[in-house]
Amino acid sequence: MTQYFGTSPSSFLQWGRSEVTEYHQGCLLMLLIAKGTPKAPGLTHRSMYYFTVLFGHEGQKPLELRCEEEQDGKEWMEAIHQASYADILIEREVLMQKYIHLVQIVETEKIAANQLRHQLEDQDTEIERLKSEIIALNKTKERMRPYQSNQEDEDPDIKKIKKVQSFMRGWLCRRKWKTIVQDYICSPHAESMRKRNQIVFTMVEAESEYVHQLYILVNGFLRPLRMAASSKKPPISHDDVSSIFLNSETIMFLHEIFHQGLKARIANWPTLILADLFDILLPMLNIYQEFVRNHQYSLQVLANCKQNRDFDKLLKQYEANPACEGRMLETFLTYPMFQIPRYIITLHELLAHTPHEHVERKSLEFAKSKLEELSRVMHDEVSDTENIRKNLAIERMIVEGCDILLDTSQTFIRQGAMKNSNTIIVKHEWDSKLHSDWTLLLSGPDILYSSREDRLLWPIGVAVPGGDDIQAKAQEKLALLRALSHSSGDNIRSENSCLLFPFFISTSGSAPHDMI
C-alpha cells in the first residue's frame, strides 16, 4: 500500500508498508531550484534542479541528486516511484527457483550420462565376449570339417552299425534307469513312504468325515433346538441345550480350519509338511477338556429331557433326517470323545514310517507327547468327575445322608451283583484296621445299618421286613471280613480295592449265581 502527500506539484512524500516488513517505509522527494553564483568572471548563471531521496529507516543517509533539465528530474522521480523492493525480491526468488530447477536438471542429466556410459562399457565388454565366442566357434567348426567330410565318405554299413550302437546304448541306459527305479520302488524306504502317504490320506479323509459329523450335530440338532427353546412353548430350556451340547460349535469351527489346512497341504503333494498344522492345533485342543468332562452329564441331561414327550417327538424328527443315517443324538455327542485318541494313534503310525533324519520327526514327536499328556489329563478329570457324581448319587440314596461320601478322596470302583444282594463298593486309601471303617447296609432307599464296628451292629427300634435274615447275613459278612483282616492283613491292605473297603453298601435282592 502506497500513499502520496504533498503541498505542491514539485514536492511530495511517498510512504507505505513493504511486503517484507510491517514498518512504514518510504522516501521524501523535494524539488529544489538552485542558482549558483559563478566563481569566475565570464560564467553565466545556470539553473540546476535538485531532488533528495530520504529513506524511512534509520542509519541510511539521504541521497541528493540534481539535473539540469526539469524533465530529467521528473523522469528520475517517476522511475523512483515505480521502483519496488518487494517486487525485486519476488523476481529474485523466481529466478532462484528457476536456477535450482536448472541445476537439478543438470544433475539428472549427469546421472543419466553416467548410467549410459556404464551401459556402453558393459555392452563393449559383451561385444568382446561375443567376438571371442564367435572366434572359438569358428575354430571348432574348422576342426569339425574334416570329420564331417569323413562321415560323408563313410560306408553305408558303417553308418548302420553306428546307428544300431546308438540305439543299443539308449536301450541299455533306459534299462539301467528302469532297474534303479524298480529297485527303489521295492526298497523298504519307498514302502515306508507309501504307507506314510496312505496314513496322511486316511487322516484327511477321517478329518473330513469328522467335520461332517460335527456339522450334522450343530446344524441338525444344536441350532434347531436353540430355536425350539426360544419358542412360545419350549420343549427344552436354553440351559439344558447348553448342558447337552456345550462348546460343540466351537469344536466344529476349529476342525473346519484344521481340515482346510490339511487339504491345502495335500494340494502340494508330494511335499507333505504337517507338523506346523499340529503346532497351530495343539494350543486350541484344550476346549476338548470341558467337553469331555461334561460328556456324561450331557447324556444324563439328554435322558432326562427325553422324558418330555414333546421333546422326544421333536428329537425323533431331527434324527429321522437322511443326513443322520439312522444315528441318534447320543452317537453324535460321542464322536468328539474319540478324536484326541484318534490323533494319537495317527501320529504313532505316522512316526513309525517317518525316518529319524526326517525334517518333521521332532515336531511330530512333540505333538504326540502333548496329545498324550492332554489325553491323560482329560482321562483323570473325567474319572474324578464321574467318581464324584456317582458318590453323590450314592449319598442321595441314604435318607440321613453320609458326610464321608462327600470326601473327594473316595473312589468309586464298580457296581454289580453279589450273592443275594446288589453291592456298591467304594474304595478309600487303607490307613487303619477294619473297625475304623464304615459299614452301611441299605434296603432300597432306607438305611438298615449305618455304624462303625465299635457301635451297635443293628439300629435300635428299626423294623424291616426280613430284617432278621438281613441282620444275620450282615453279621456273617462282617465276621468274614474281620477274619480276613486278622489272618492276612498285610496282603489285604495292598489289595484293598478288592476286599477291604471303607464302605460296604448292600441292597436286598437276589443274584444267586453272581458274586463280586
With beta carbons less than 8 A apart as the criterion, state whether 337 and 279 touch: no
514 assigned to some structural domain? no
Neighbours of 330 (CB within 10 A): 14
C-alpha cell, 142:
574348422
Do residues 344 and 261 share a domain? yes
Tens of pLDDT along 364-379? Answer: 888 888 888 888 877 7
24 assigned to some structural domain? yes
Question: Mean per-residue pLDDT for 281-297?
Answer: 83
Considering only CA atoms, which of 281, 278, 290 is closest in space to residue 249? 290
**Is 454 in a helix, a strand, or coil?**
coil
Confidence (pTM): 0.48
Question: Mean per-residue pLDDT for 143-153?
Answer: 66
C-alpha cell, 494:
495292598
Tens of pLDDT along 489-510? Answer: 443 333 333 333 334 443 333 3
Q: Is the pLDDT confidence value at 93 over 60?
A: yes
Do residues 252 and 384 share a domain? yes
With beta carbons less than 8 A apart as the criterion, state whether 413 and 483 touch: no
**End residue of a domain, out of 357, 390, 423:** 390
Which pLDDT belongs to residue 419? 47
Q: Name residue 339's amino acid.
A: Q
In angstroms, the CA 31 to CA 9 distance is: 9
Do residues 71 and 103 share a domain? no
Give me the number of domains the chain comprises.
Answer: 4
Considering only CA atoms, which of 25, 29, 83, 81 is closest in space to residue 53? 29
DSSP characters for 272-341?
Answer: ---HHHHHHHGGGTTHHHHHHHHHHHHHHHHHHHTTSHHHHHHHHHHHTSGGGTT--HHHHHHGGGGHHH
Q: Is the pLDDT confidence value at 23 over 70?
A: no
**Is 36 in a helix, a strand, or coil?**
coil
In angstroms, the CA 80 to CA 74 distance is: 10
Question: Hunting for cell 446344524 — which residue is that?
Answer: 219
Which pLDDT belongs to residue 401? 65
Task: Report CA 118 to chain centroid distance, whole Å.
Answer: 50
**Is 139 in a helix, a strand, or coil?**
helix
Do residues 122 and 6 share a domain? no
With beta carbons less than 8 A apart as the criterion, state whether 314 and 235 touch: yes
Residue of higher predicted confidence among 28 and 161: 161
Confidence of residue 44 (pLDDT cuts 50, 70, 90): very low
Which pLDDT belongs to residue 434? 35
Do residues 435 and 381 share a domain? no
* Cβ-Cβ contacts under 8 Å for 441 (sequence gap 6 or more): 447, 448, 449, 450, 470, 474, 504, 505, 506
Do residues 240 and 332 share a domain? yes
For 387-408, give one letter per residue: b (16+ CB within 10 A) or e. Answer: bbebbeebeebbeeebeebeee
93 assigned to some structural domain? no
317 assigned to some structural domain? yes
Query: Which parts of 83-222 fold into alpha helices (H)?
Result: 85-152, 156-185, 188-217
Q: Is the pLDDT confidence value at 106 over 90?
A: yes
397 assigned to some structural domain? no
In angstroms, the CA 480 to CA 366 distance is: 52
In angstroms, the CA 144 to CA 139 distance is: 9
Do residues 349 and 486 share a domain? no
Do residues 267 and 320 share a domain? yes
On the 0-12 / 13-18 / 19+ scale of CB atoms within 10 A, 41 is: exposed
Tens of pLDDT along 53-80? Answer: 776 666 778 888 888 888 888 888 887 7
Do residues 262 and 367 share a domain? yes
In angstroms, the CA 272 to CA 274 distance is: 6
Averaged pLDDT score across all residues of the chain = 72
Residue of higher predicted confidence among 362 and 2: 362
Which pLDDT belongs to residue 455? 36
Q: Can you say whether the dihedral through the CA atoms of 69, 72, 78, 80 is positive or negative?
A: negative
**End residue of a domain, out of 390, 417, 437:** 390
Cis peptide before 270 (omega within 30 of 0): yes
Do residues 199 and 273 share a domain? yes
- Least confident interval from 36-45, 367-376, 464-473, 507-516: 507-516
Between CA 286 and CA 292, with CA 288 as vertex, the angle to 5 degrees is 135
Q: Is the pLDDT confidence value at 151 over 70?
A: no
149 assigned to some structural domain? no
- Least confident interval from 30-39, 158-167, 354-363, 480-489: 30-39
Q: Name residue 370's amino acid.
A: K
**Is 356 in a helix, a strand, or coil?**
coil
What residues make up the domain containing 284?
A: 193-390
Do residues 57 and 125 share a domain? no
Confidence of residue 41 (pLDDT cuts 50, 70, 90): very low
Residue of higher predicted confidence among 376 and 238: 238
Do residues 496 and 457 share a domain? yes
Torsion angle (degrees, nearest 10) of CA 475, 478, 483, 489: -170
Which pLDDT belongs to residue 48? 76
Q: Is the pLDDT confidence value at 296 over 70?
A: yes
- Percentage of residues of the chain with pLDDT beyond 70: 61
Task: Report CA 86 to chain centroid distance, whole Å.
Answer: 66
In angstroms, the CA 50 to CA 73 distance is: 8
Neighbours of 63 (CB within 10 A): 12
**Helix-strand-coil split of the chain, %, nearest 5:** 60, 15, 25
In angstroms, the CA 116 to CA 277 distance is: 52
In angstroms, the CA 472 to CA 476 distance is: 6
Question: Hunting for cell 529466478 — which residue is that?
Answer: 95
CATH label of the domain that carries residue 282 = 1.20.900.10
In angstroms, the CA 474 to CA 468 distance is: 10
Which pLDDT belongs to residue 159? 82
**Is 456 in a helix, a strand, or coil?**
coil
Considering only CA atoms, which of 267, 253, 155, 282 is closest in space to residue 204? 267
* Cβ-Cβ contacts under 8 Å for 353 (sequence gap 6 or more): 192, 193, 195, 196, 199
372 assigned to some structural domain? yes
Which pLDDT belongs to residue 334? 87
Confidence of residue 295 (pLDDT cuts 50, 70, 90): confident
Which pLDDT belongs to residue 396? 66
- C-alpha distances in Å from residue 294, one per residue of 217, 236, 300: 16, 18, 10
Question: Hunting for cell 543419466 — which residue is that?
Answer: 112
**End residue of a domain, out of 144, 162, 177:** 144
Counting DSSP H helices and E strands in the chain, the numbers are: 15, 10
β-sheet bridge partners, residue 67? 49
165 assigned to some structural domain? no
Tens of pLDDT along 383-442? Answer: 666 666 666 677 667 766 666 666 666 666 666 554 444 444 444 443 433 333 444 444
